[in-house]
Structure 1
Amino acid sequence: MAFTIRQLQFFVAAAEQGSVSRAAQTLSISQSSVTEAIKDLESDLGVELFDRHPRGLNVTHKGHQFLRHATKILADVSDARRTFHIGQEMVRGRLQLGVTSLVAGYVLSDLLARYRRAYPGVEISAIEDNGDYLEHLLIGGKLDVAVMVTSNLRDRTALQSEILEVSAYRLWMPLGHALSGADIISIGDIATEPLIMLTVDEIEENTGRLLSAIGAKPHIAFRTRSVEAVRSLVATGAGVALLPDLVYRPWSLEGDRIESRDVSGSLPVVQVGMVWRRGSGLPQAARDFIGIAQSQRTIRQRQ
Structure 2
Amino acid sequence: MELRHLEYFVAVAEERHFTRAAERMRVAQSGLSAAIRSLERDLDAELFVRSTRRVELTDAGRALLAEAHRTLASATAARNAVAAVRGLLRGSLTVGSEQCLGVIDLPPVLASFRRAHPGVEIRLRYAGSGQVTEQVRLGRLNVGFVALPGPPPDGVRLLPLATEQMVLLCHPAHPLAERDTVDVAALVDEDFVDFSTDWGARRVNDQTFARADAERRISVEVNDVHTLLDFVHQGLGVALVPAPVTRKPHAKGLHVAALAAQDGPTWQVSVAVSASAPPGPATTELLRMALPEGRLAGRSDESAGAHRSTYRLRQPTHRE
Give the TM bin, normalised by the shorter chain: 0.5 to 0.7
Q: Distance in 1 between matches of 2:217 and 2:210?
A: 12
Q: Distance in 1 between matches of 2:268 and 2:229?
A: 22
Could you tell me which of 235, 243, 246 is aligned with 2:244? 246
C-alpha deviation, 1:239, in angstroms = 1.6
Could you tell me which of 204, 207, 218 is aligned with 1:206? 204
1:297 equivalent in alignment to 2:293: no
Aligned to 1:288: 285
Deviations 1:226-246 (A, max 9, x none): 211110111122221011113
C-alpha deviation, 1:267, in angstroms = 2.6
Distance 1:297 1:120, change over 3 A: farther
Q: TM-score, normalised by structure 2?
A: 0.56
C-alpha deviation, 1:207, in angstroms = 2.3
Q: Which runs of 4+ in 1 moved over 6 A?
A: none
1:131-146 superposed matches below 5 A: 131-146=129-144
Amino acid at match of 1:177: H
1:191 equivalent in alignment to 2:161: no
Aligned to 1:180: 177
Structure 2: any 5+ residue segments left out of the alignment? 1-86, 293-310, 316-320
C-alpha deviation, 1:167, in angstroms = 1.8
Aligned to 2:318: none
Aligned to 1:169: 166
Amino acid at match of 1:163: P
Structure 1: any 5+ residue segments left out of the alignment? 1-88
Aligned residue for 2:312, secondary structure, equals helix
Amino acid at match of 1:167: E
Aligned residue for 2:182, secondary structure, equals coil
Distance 1:216 1:128, change over 3 A: same
1:1-303 superposed matches below 5 A: 91-101=89-99, 103=101, 107-152=105-150, 154-156=152-154, 158-199=155-196, 200-249=198-247, 251-252=249-250, 257-264=253-260, 265-278=262-275, 280-295=277-292, 297=312, 299=314
Q: TM-score, normalised by structure 1?
A: 0.58
Distance 1:186 1:133, change over 3 A: closer
Q: Which protein is bigger by CA-based radius of gyration?
A: 2
Aligned residue for 2:247, secondary structure, equals coil
C-alpha deviation, 1:101, in angstroms = 4.4
Aligned to 1:56: none
C-alpha deviation, 1:294, in angstroms = 0.7
Q: Distance in 1 between matches of 2:212 and 2:134?
A: 35
